[in-house]
Structure 1
Amino acid sequence: METIIRRSSRVRAKKNGKYIEHIKTLHSVAGDLLIMTDILSEDKLRNVIAEYENLIGDLLNIN
């Protein structure tokens, strides 16, 4: 069962331009990283994933 995310009108009313640009950039970077999985070592991939998760976590906590 899929959880539906609901937003208040206050959150929807905010200007999301920077947020959307960050998401697009992260999406682009993720695509580039997918191509590089054969090149990077397991440790480097682990570090990249950890940093990527941190960036996404920071974005989700934007007020």
Structure 2
Amino acid sequence: MPLPKPKKNEEKQPFISRCIAKVTKEDADKFPDRKQRAAICYSQWDGNEKDGKKSTKKGSRK
């Protein structure tokens, strides 16, 4: 399964929650540690920020 990516104008916390839920549901066997799943999602958010594709709304970093 491909990892989730932030949707256009999606804020950080909603993305992180959605991402963790999806990874938990679909890839819990690959990523059994809850902290690892969270780290993956934060990494996805940060990686998208470097690409300049995410919102600068509340909860995001500039």
Between structures 1 and 2, the one with greater helix share: 1
Larger radius of gyration: 1
TM above 0.5, yes or no, is no
Q: Normalising by structure 1, what TM-score?
A: 0.39
Q: Normalising by structure 2, what TM-score?
A: 0.39
Higher-RCO chain (CA-CA 8 Å, sequence separation at least 6)? 2
